[in-house]
Amino acid sequence: HEAMKRMSASNVLIVGLKGLGVEIAKNVALAGVKSLTLFDPEPAAWADLSAQFFLHPEDVGKPRDQVTAPRVAELNAYTPVHIHQSPSLADNLSQFDKYQVVVLTNQNTDLQTTVGEYCHSKGIYFIAVNTH
């Protein structure tokens, strides 16, 4: 019961919306959190269509977060889904202060280390995962 209360009060950021990131986003949205924010401004590629189930052929070339966010939002009307606006994740670490959980998927080790150390210093839960 306590875990559900904490989860429903959490603002969650997910960085990276290829196959793994979108699966995490789907599960978090369905679980119900205070808010879910997505970040992946990279353009969707044809190869993404095989693993990123919210993408369609007409999305190729468009920012992954822009096309994915509205589709994730349809899963749970009680979980607002936003797009994180930032030119760079490493340049202004205070941008993570508004989140209780930060998840980095398939990001480089330097970014994982920088963001992870910052989050740990602020008491923000941090998860870094990669697929190969």
Question: How many other C-beta atoms can be found within 10 angstroms of the C-beta atom of residue 114?
Answer: 15
Pair 39, 89: CB distance under 8 Å: yes
Distance, CA of 36 to CA of 82 (rounded, Å): 6
Average pLDDT over residues 40-52: 96
Supply the mean pLDDT for the chain. Answer: 95
> Hunting for tokens 């607002």 — which residue is that?
80
- Model confidence at 10, pLDDT cuts 50, 70, 90, reads very high
pTM higher than 0.85, yes or no?
yes
What average pLDDT score do residues 112-132 get? 96
Mean pLDDT of 76-88: 95
For residue 32, what are its two tokens?
Answer: 């119900």
Distances (CA, A) of 74 to 45, 54, 70, 77: 23, 11, 7, 6
Q: Which CATH architecture has domain 2-129?
A: 3-Layer(aba) Sandwich (3.40)
Domain extents in the chain = 2-129
Torsion of CA 98, 23, 121, 117, to 10 degrees: -130
DSSP class of residue 24 equals: H
